[in-house]
Amino acid sequence: EVFHFGPVLGTNNIGEFLAIVHALAELTRQGRMLTVYSDSRNALLWIAKKKCNTKLEHNAKTETIHQLISRAETWLNNNKYSIPVKKWHTSKWGEIPADFGRK
């Protein structure tokens, strides 16, 4: 486990999106080239579009997560990376370790 954050009010897809961006930023900072995997189709789409298209209401309870989303989108739009981000194939490989065995 490289990092762990929370709990905050949000969704699993937002958590996956933020984790991917954090991994990309950290690997870029370290100059490392490793593949980042996610089992979240939504998070992968959001990464590709550099926009977290969540429908999570923006209110006082979700302010923290929306601030993190904004920071992540800014990072994606202001940085270049060549780190591969790929779909984790749960049906072939089993549950992704990042889910901490909670699925």
Q: Is this prediction's pTM over 0.75?
A: yes
Dump pLDDT digits (tens) for 14-34: 999 999 999 999 999 999 999
Dump pLDDT digits (tens) for 37-82: 999 999 999 999 999 999 999 999 999 999 999 999 999 999 999 9
84, 2, 80, 8: CA torsion to nearest 10: 110
User: Cis omega before residue 7 (within 30°)?
Assistant: yes
Look at the block and give the residue holding tokens 């490793």. Answer: 34
